[in-house]
Structure 1
Amino acid sequence: MPKVVKVGVVKSNKMDKTAVVSVERLVRHPLYTRAFKKTSNFTVHDEANKCQVGDRVKIVECRPISKRKRWKLVEILVSPAEREAKVQVVEDVK
């Protein structure tokens, strides 16, 4: 069975080797067909404690690690520190 992969934003990393990732998705109302956003929070296993709040991360479904942890951190796609560095470089060029 293929593993489910999701992309979300880190909301909290206060726990040891654990982060809370918020994943947004678009849902269409069954009767009115209006699209709206729904958010789900997933408790993710972060072995190296490397993600920070605001990071955009990729997570994958795995075996149960604890009572609420069923997801592992795969990679950090974009971090706020990287974004700030890119903005500073662009401002220096202008």
Structure 2
Amino acid sequence: MPMKILKGTVISNKMNKTVVIAVERVFQHPFYKKTIKTRKNYKAHDEENRCQIGDVVEIIESRPISKDKRWKVLRIIKEGEGQ
């Protein structure tokens, strides 16, 4: 089965080798047909600590690395302004 790939923005890089990615999803409500925007946070493994706050990255599903870390940073798509 192919692994899922998601695209999101780095919102925290305070942990060692871990970043928090906010992934936004836009969909239409099945009954009311209103457009809904939801955001979910994922913890992803960043081996070289390269990601900065504001970067747009791709993450890929992986085996469990820790209690709540099941994603790895695949690549940095666009570098943000950083802090």
Whether TM-score is above 0.5 comes out as: yes
- Identity score, percent: 49
Residue in structure 2 matched with residue 56 of structure 1 by the alignment: 56
Partner Cα separation in structure 2 for residue 52 and residue 41 of structure 1: 16
TM-score by length of 1: 0.83
Offset at 1:30? Answer: 1.9
Which runs of at least 4 in structure 1 moved beyond 3 Å after TM superposition?
none
Unmatched segments (≥5 aa) in structure 1: 82-94
Residue in structure 1 matched with residue 78 of structure 2 by the alignment: 78
Offset at 1:31? Answer: 1.4
Residue in structure 2 matched with residue 30 of structure 1 by the alignment: 30
Offset at 1:48? Answer: 0.4
- Greater RCO, CA 8 A, separation 6+: 2
* Residue 4 of structure 2 is aligned to residue 12 of structure 1: no
TM-score by length of 2: 0.94
State the number of aligned residues. Answer: 81
More strand by share: 2
Partner Cα separation in structure 1 for residue 76 and residue 43 of structure 2: 16
- For the aligned residue pairs, the C-alpha RMSD in angstroms reads 0.8
Letter in 2 for 1:26: V
Partner Cα separation in structure 2 for residue 38 and residue 28 of structure 1: 11
Offset at 1:80? Answer: 2.1
Unmatched segments (≥5 aa) in structure 2: none
